[in-house]
A = this chain, B = another copy of it.
Amino acid sequence: MIKINENYLKLQDSYLFSTIAKKVADFQAKNPDKKIIKLGIGDVTLPIAPKIIEAIHKATDEMAKKETFKGYGPEQGYDFLREKIVEWDYKKRGISIEKEEIFISDGAKCDTGNIQELFSTDNIIAITDPVYPVYLDSNVMAGRTGSFDKNTGKFEKVVYMPATAENNFEPELPKEKVDMLYLCFPNNPTGTVLNKEQLTKWVKYAKENGSIIFFDSAYEAYISEENVPHSIYEIEGAKEVAIEFRSFSKTAGFTGVRCAYAVVPKELKVGEVSLNALWNRRQCTKFNGVPYITQKAAEAVYTEEGQKQIKENIAYYMENARIIREGLEKSGYTVYGGKNAPYIWLKVPEGMTSWEFFDKLLEEKNIVGTPGSGFGPSGEGYFRLTAFGSRENTIEAMNRIKQ
């Protein structure tokens, strides 16, 4: 008799955003006349930039002709795209990465979810709290977390590193030895960042403890301030201890186009074993590469025109972020983030839980956000709004809150 992977049964509830979607659908069904403004899920709303659209049409026409048709591509991605990434995302910042260290994928969600497969289920993982749920859930499924404790809201074997207003959203280094560290900066959900000095401590910790950092920099394009690293490889020695994840989703509005990449440096080894080789093997066995058309779309991001167009979109979202930040402050809220990230993290009013605030905001103001507690126990008492709405909706939302 077949047995299931019992670890799946330890997963808590359904995935955060599905729960929200259901609540919103129920509310809308009961209140068909209400105009709901959605600032919950981190999904972009501006269309794909013209330069990228042009590239998609061109690649599509190549697929229509025998002479230029492309079948299976390399599982690691086409060199034309890997080379552009090396040049534009790394070399321009003074970082030396080889194209063989870049693995094109269909999403940072997939990559950050799959990366744990390369490692023993005995390893101890550490996550910041609050956290993007995928890091935790993929480890629950793999059996690395132990059971969920309802009293603490935590999994027994996981090291939680709180990031709250109390420590200015700079999580403390673990006191114990941990093996696998998940960091996301600019941070989802708090919208906060680490500066170079702060990030350097994590690289040092990883070196001293033989740990590996999974560095999710999906939001690096939103950084506006100086001294905030766009890549962990800006920190000396990071190539020996860190895998970096990047995505076109928020950089170029690719949430529905699906393209991302992971950087697995050749220097990164566990004993004699090259993690670049292991990840390569994983991808070759369980992945068939990203569509040619999609990779051509991503390539167009790395042109002067493409850059100009995506930066206009990012500026649009960051103006929304400013409107939300300042709007909330004027309405008496304490807010964080929104300067180097498209997320605004606010303190919910005293005496309310995050979900209570979610319900109140939905019912009274018809605004959807994301309850902080959905991201972990230290997210309780906070709430996330995103800057990805339209300008009109963003302004309208702030007007509703002001009233």
The one of B11, B107, B210, B292 that contacts A287, using a Cβ cutoff of 8 Å: B107
- In the complex, what residue of chain B is closest to A44 when comparing beta carbons? B71
Q: Is A189 an interface residue (CB 8 A)?
A: no
A343 to chain B: closest CB distance in Å?
16
Q: Which residues of B contact A9 (CB under 8 A)?
A: 273
| Chain B hits for A15, CB < 8 A | 281, 284-285
A4 to B281, CA, bound (A): 14
**Chain B neighbourhood of A29, CB < 8 A:** none
Q: A64 touching B43 by the CB < 8 A rule? A: no
Docked complex Cα distance between A284 and B123 (Å): 24
Contact partner, A138, options B4, B43, B179, B286, Cβ 8 Å: B286
Chain B residues within 8 Å of A278, by CB: 4-5, 8
Say yes or no: B1 contacts A210, CB within 8 Å: yes
| Stretch of A83-91, A112-120, A357-365, A366-374 at the chain-chain interface | A112-120
Taking CB as reference atom, which chain B residue is nearest A271? Answer: B4
User: Which parts of A103-146 form the interface with B (CB within 8 Å)?
Assistant: 106-107, 109-110, 113-114, 117-123, 133-134, 137-138, 141
Chain A 46-74 against B: per-residue CB contact (8 Å), 1 yes, 0 no? 11101001001100110111100111110
In the complex the two chains form, what is the Cα distance from A179 to B256 in whole Å? 37
A14 at the interface (CB under 8 A from B): yes
A290 to B5: give the CA distance in the assembly, Å: 26
Interface contact A3-B69, CB-CB below 8 Å: no
* Contact partner, A48, options B14, B69, B137, B284, Cβ 8 Å: B69
- The answer, yes or no, to whether A326 is at the interface (CB within 8 Å) is no
B48 touches A63 (CB 8 A): yes
Number of interface residues of A (CB under 8 A): 81
Contact of A5 among B45, B117, B141 (CB under 8 A): B117
Of the residues B61, B210, B256, contact of A73 by C-beta under 8 Å: B256
Q: Which of B46, B119, B289 contacts A66 (CB 8 A)?
A: B46
5 closest A-B pairs by CB: A1-B210, A113-B286, A3-B120, A2-B179, A43-B71
A158 interface residue (CB < 8 Å to B):
no
How far is it, in angstroms, between the C-alpha of A273 and the C-alpha of B122 when the chains are bound?
A: 26
- Could you tell me the distance between the alpha carbons of A123 and B117 in the complex, rounded to whole angstroms? 18
Residue of B nearest to A70 (CB): B256
B113 touches A285 (CB 8 A): yes
Chain A 286-316: CB-based contact to B (< 8 A → 1; otherwise 0): 1111111110000000000000000000000
Q: Which B residues are in CB contact (< 8 Å) with A45?
A: 66, 69, 71
Complex CA–CA separation, A398 to B179 (angstroms) = 56
Contacts of A47 in B (CB 8 A): 63-66, 69
Contacting B at CB under 8 A, from A257-276, are 257-258, 270-271, 273, 275
Report how far A281 CA is from B14 CA in the complex, Å. 7
Give every chain B residue within 8 A of A57 (Cβ-Cβ). 57, 60
Given known contacts A2-B270, A47-B69, A291-B294, what 8 new A-B pairs fall within 8 Å (CB)?
A2-B210, A4-B120, A53-B61, A72-B256, A107-B287, A109-B286, A117-B141, A133-B285
